[in-house]
A and B are shown apart, each in its own frame.
Chain A
Amino acid sequence: DVLMTQTPVSLPVSLGGQVSISCRSSQSLVHSDGNTYLHWYLQKPGQSPQLLIYRVSNRFSGVPDRFSGSGSGTDFTLKISRVEPEDLGVYYCLQSTHFPPLTFGSGTKLEIK
């Protein structure tokens, strides 16, 4: 199974600031169809996870452009600029290239500094 290593575990940030979250996979996430199925989710307290970014860099419907994803192969990054209070929660990366199984990163908690 693909192991997803996500860092940091906790990420203090000032409102209006910028942060980056790293996600690394134990093997390439390039699918045989040429796509890379690496996605980013945000789980706000008491809620189910919500999709932010799909296939590395595509913002899901309604996601502000403060969120951006990048990367390739085994190394991926989520950047959040101009952090707002509504951005706080736990961020997860998820790979579905080698599905089954789906494998998640261990999560990064974004909190106010």
Chain B
Amino acid sequence: QVQLKESGPGLVQPSQTLSLTCTVSGLSLTSNSVSWIRQPPGKGLEWMGVIWSNGGTDYNSAIKSRLSISRDTSKSQVFLKMNSLQTEDTAMYFCARTPYWGQGVMVTVSS
């Protein structure tokens, strides 16, 4: 049974760095890519980036300069780090490997 579960802080201060973890079970990260997708409250879905099965990454050009995705295959975890957070980064953050999605973690950027 494939499961993805996001974890991380619910509150981040403006200008700080967001760090999230996606813990994956039921599939191998060396055979599957994992994407991060976010959704501001009441709004649509925005793809942020992907880590491929070979460990390579691709990012949304709009946030590429602030975003880093990495992984630890031994722990079956994928990490997201995004710096210089602003209030507009307040969103639900999901990790996903189609058709499987995590339940998401809500991140609020506020002082």
Contact = CB atoms under 8 A, between A and B. Distances in A.
Interface of A: 1, 39, 47-51, 54, 60, 92, 96, 99-107
Contacts, number: 43
Contacts of A106: 44
**Size range of the chain B interface in the assembly:** 20 to 34
A48 B47 contact: no
A83 B111 CA distance: 44
A48 B49 CA distance: 18
A47 B44 CA distance: 13
B45 A101 contact: no
Contacts of B45: 49, 92, 104, 107
20 contacts: A1-B61, A48-B94, A48-B101, A48-B102, A48-B104, A49-B45, A49-B101, A50-B99, A51-B99, A96-B98, A99-B50, A100-B49, A100-B58, A101-B47, A101-B58, A102-B37, A102-B47, A104-B45, A106-B44, A107-B45
B60 interface: yes
A103 B47 contact: yes
Contacts of B101: 48-50
B17 interface: no
